């Protein structure tokens, strides 16, 4: 490989969740500070894939993207390929042995070293930086280049995970739970706000409701949100993602009920509802706990949108236990729901559980829940007909004149529904009042009032 003459152009593909996306933005910021030029992948000299390795489907997507980039390298369209994040963190040097055409591997805990790693790419040996126990977490002092539209940002408040769900590899990939200080988070938000008009802040972490326990001795998520809501220089939404039902306290619910800036949207992954399955999953809340929590939230936060996620096909899940889950979904009617088939992940306790379920049965159960949720979503959407709601504009709809695409406060970016808005001269980041005139399967249609 010939030596690089800086500034070398670097492009990145970010896979997986918004937490990964934040890491990608920090990677780009560090590279820019080190003299590299940030470019679209088609124009880049070096291609980086920030990978996900949470479940089998994510691993397959990561491998496919790596092979696509190494193919571009063989064609001479890239000089080097770098694989970062969860996949090398999880599989270490065995991954490097399987992919000799990759020039460098960097783990989740080694983001700060990316500049030095890329400067070593003219050497013959593969660069490899994967710490066994990740301890890194970025702060407001780290440079960051936003990949998201400028009017919204993800703010990662913690890294790693304390919960030890039996199906989950996150603790072994990301390490122990570690929170950022409140002051660092506030300074980051202030810094981003000075660069761009932020209409929405999305708070992310492996478990945001546990925030602060490790450094303050108790959860400080309510205090953090209250301070973020005190930024009153202009109107914006603050959205809390990735909460854990067992850690939701009354003061947090009260803040959601009283604070206008806080989106009336609670991300509440239950994973299952049968008590035996929950115990096998090592998920502390029981069905009764979950039912009481949901009832309390809906009573105290009128108009709240609840998003949840569930896993079907967990080892040993009987037809009766699945039916119990399906009945619960139909009864509760979550406004938003993600359904996943169980992925048997090596290194997790559930990997060795008896009663692994056939993929065909998993798929049947997945389809059953998705059909049920489709009906629920259509029913909920029809309740919006004729109502006027506040919508945040994300982009112009290029397929229709005077049409824009936005979201209600009940819709998180990328994962939830959209609102197709008829209007004129709107810009991304604008808040507008929209009268709903039609409904689609998961989306709404309306016009500016």
The pLDDT of residue 6: 54
The reply to whether 189 and 288 lie within a common domain is: yes
State the total domains in the chain.
3
pLDDT at 46: 94
pLDDT at 7: 63
Residues 402 and 375 in one domain: no
145 within some domain: no
Q: Does residue 317 share a domain with residue 181?
A: yes
179 and 295 belong to one structural domain: yes
Q: What is the pTM of this model?
A: 0.92
- Please tell me whether residues 318 and 420 are part of one structural domain: no
**Tokens, residue 259:** 């604070």
Is 141 inside a domain boundary? no
Q: Is residue 137 part of a domain?
A: no
Domain presence at residue 4: no
Q: What is the pLDDT of residue 141?
A: 95
Structure confidence at residue 197 (pLDDT): 87
Quick one: 231 and 211 in the same domain?
Answer: yes
**What is the pLDDT, as a whole number, of residue 400?**
86
Domain of residue 392, CATH code? 2.40.50.140
265 and 241 within one domain: yes
**Among the three residues 97, 129, 161, which one is the final residue of a domain in this structure?**
129
Whole-angstrom CA distances from 225 to 45, 229, 252, 306, 353 are 41, 6, 9, 18, 39
Do 163 and 112 lie in one domain? The reply is no
Note whether residue 207 is domain-resident. yes
Residue ending a domain, choose from 353, 382, 411: 382
- 436 in the same domain as 417: yes
Residue 388: CB atoms within 10 Å: 13
Calpha distance 386→393 (Å, rounded): 20
For residue 67, what is the domain's CATH number? 3.40.50.12160
Residues 316 and 280: beta-carbon distance below 8 Å: yes
Residues 373, 308 share a domain: yes
Residue 1 lies in a domain: no
Q: Are 424 and 413 in contact (CB under 8 A)?
A: no
Say if residue 439 is in the same domain as residue 312: no
Same domain, 339 and 417: no
Task: Give the CATH number of the domain where residue 241 resides.
Answer: 3.80.30.20
Local confidence pLDDT in tens for the 449 residues of the chain: 555 555 689 999 999 999 999 999 999 999 999 999 999 999 999 999 999 998 889 999 999 999 999 999 999 999 999 999 999 999 988 998 999 999 999 999 999 999 988 888 876 678 899 988 898 999 999 999 999 999 999 999 999 999 999 999 999 999 999 999 999 999 999 999 888 889 999 999 999 999 999 999 999 999 999 999 988 777 799 999 999 999 999 999 999 999 999 999 999 999 999 999 999 999 988 999 999 999 999 999 999 999 999 999 999 999 999 999 999 999 999 999 999 999 999 999 999 999 999 999 999 999 999 999 999 999 999 999 999 999 999 999 988 889 999 999 999 999 999 999 999 999 999 999 999 999 998 899 999 99
Q: Let me know if residue 91 belongs to a domain.
A: yes
Q: Are strands 200-204 and 127-129 parallel, antiparallel or unpaired?
A: unpaired
233 belongs to a structural domain = yes
Residue 30 lies in domain:
9-129
């Amino acid at each position: 490989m010939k030596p690089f003459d800086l500034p070398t152009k670097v492009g990145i593909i970010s896979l997986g969740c918004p937490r990964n996306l934040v890491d990608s933005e920090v990677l780009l910021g560090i590279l820019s500070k080190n003299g590299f030029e940030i470019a679209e992948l088609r124009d880049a000299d070096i291609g980086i894939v920030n990978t996900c390795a949470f479940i089998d489907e994510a691993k397959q997507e990561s491998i496919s993207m790596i092979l696509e980039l190494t193919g571009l390298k063989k064609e001479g369209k890239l000089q080097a390929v770098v694989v970062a994040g969860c996949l090398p963190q999880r599989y270490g040097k065995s991954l490097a042995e399987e992919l000799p055409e990759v020039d460098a591997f960097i783990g989740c805990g080694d983001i700060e070293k990316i500049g030095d790693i890329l400067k070593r790419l003219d050497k013959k040996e593969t660069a490899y930086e994967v710490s066994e126990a990740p301890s890194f977490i970025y702060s407001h002092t780290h440079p960051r280049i936003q990949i998201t539209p400028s009017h919204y940002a993800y703010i990662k408040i913690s890294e790693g995970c304390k919960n030890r769900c039996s199906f989950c590899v996150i603790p072994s990939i990301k390490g122990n739970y570690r929170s950022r200080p409140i002051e660092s988070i506030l300074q980051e938000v202030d810094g981003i706000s000075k660069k761009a008009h932020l209409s929405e802040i999305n708070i992310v972490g492996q478990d945001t409701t546990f925030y602060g326990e490790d450094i303050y001795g108790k959860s400080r998520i309510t205090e953090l949100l209250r301070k973020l809501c005190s930024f009153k220089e202009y109107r914006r939404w603050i959205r809390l993602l990735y909460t854990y039902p067992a850690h939701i306290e009354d003061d947090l619910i009260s803040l959601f009920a009283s604070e206008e800036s806080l989106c009336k949207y609670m991300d509440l992954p239950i994973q299952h509802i049968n008590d035996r399955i929950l115990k096998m999953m090592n998920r502390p809340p029981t069905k009764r706990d979950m039912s009481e929590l949901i009832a309390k939230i809906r009573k105290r936060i009128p108009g709240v949108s609840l998003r949840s996620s569930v896993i079907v096909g967990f080892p040993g899940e009987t037809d009766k236990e699945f039916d119990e889950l399906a009945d619960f979904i139909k009864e509760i009617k979550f406004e938003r729901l993600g359904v996943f088939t169980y992925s048997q992940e090596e290194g997790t306790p559930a990997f060795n559980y008896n009663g692994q379920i056939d993929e065909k049965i998993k798929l049947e159960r997945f389809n059953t829940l998705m059909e049920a949720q489709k009906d629920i979503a259509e029913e909920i959407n029809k309740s919006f007909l004729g109502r006027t709601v506040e919508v945040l504009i994300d982009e112009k709809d290029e397929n229709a004149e005077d049409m824009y695409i936005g979201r209600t406060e009940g819709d998180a970016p990328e994962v939830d529904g959209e609102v197709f808005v008829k209007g004129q001269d709107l810009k991304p980041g604008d808040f507008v009042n929209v009268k709903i005139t039609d409904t689609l399967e998961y989306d709404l249609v309306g016009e500016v009032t």
